[in-house]
Chains A and B, each alone.
Chain A
Amino acid sequence: MSEIKHHLTDALLLSYAAGTLDEGFSLVAATHISLCDDCRARLESFEAVGGALVDECEGVALADNALEATLAMIDVVPVVASAATSPSAKCVFPSPLREYVGGDLDAVRWRPLGGGVKQAVLKTGGEDKVRLLSIPGGTAMPDHGHRGLELTMVLQGAFEDADGHFGRGDVEVADEDLHHTPVAVAGEVCICLAATDAPLRFKGLVPRMAQPFLGI
Chain B
Amino acid sequence: MNVAIEEGAVPARAASYAGSVMQTDGPDNSSPENDRFVELVTRVRQNGDREAFAAVFRHFAPRVKAFLMKSGANEGLAEECTQEVMATLWTKAHMFDPTRASVSTWVFTIARNRKIDALRRIKRPEPEELPWGPEPEPDQVDVMTLRQESEKLAEAIASLPDKQRDLIQRAYFGDLSHAEIAEQTGLPLGTIKSRIRLALERLRHAMG
Contact = CB atoms under 8 A, between A and B. Distances in A.
Contacts of A162: none
Interface stretch (A46-54, A106-114, A201-209): A46-54
Interface in A49-102: 49-63, 66-67, 69-71, 73-74, 77-80, 82-83, 85, 88, 94-97, 99-100
B163 interface: no
B128 A88 contact: yes
B128 A96 contact: yes
Contacts, number: 228
B150 interface: yes
Interface size of B as a range: 35 or more
A50 B102 contact: no
Given A53-B172, A55-B104, A42 B78 contact: no
A166 interface: no
B150 A11 contact: no
Q: Is the interface of B mostly helix, strand, loop or mixed?
A: helix
Contact of B203 (A19, A30, A49, A54): A49
B125 to A, nearest CB: 4
Interface string A164-178: 000000000000000
A161 interface: no
B107 A54 contact: yes
A97 B109 CA distance: 21
A61 B87 contact: no
A125 interface: yes
Contacts of B86: 70
A190 interface: no
Contact of B157 (A33, A53, A74, A80): A53
A59 B112 contact: no
Interface stretch (B1-9, B20-28, B91-99): B91-99
A161 to B, nearest CB: 21
25 contacts: A9-B205, A14-B171, A14-B203, A14-B206, A15-B181, A18-B112, A18-B173, A19-B113, A19-B124, A23-B123, A26-B124, A40-B130, A44-B100, A44-B105, A48-B102, A52-B157, A54-B64, A54-B107, A54-B111, A59-B62, A62-B83, A66-B57, A67-B61, A79-B94, A124-B122
Interface of B: 50, 53-54, 57-58, 60-67, 69-70, 75, 78-79, 82-84, 86-87, 90-92, 94-95, 100-102, 104-109, 111-113, 115-116, 120-131, 133, 149-150, 153-154, 157-158, 168-169, 171-174, 176-179, 181-182, 195, 198-199, 202-203, 205-207
Interface of A: 9-15, 17-23, 25-27, 29-31, 33-34, 40-63, 66-67, 69-71, 73-74, 77-80, 82-83, 85, 88, 94-97, 99-100, 124-126, 149
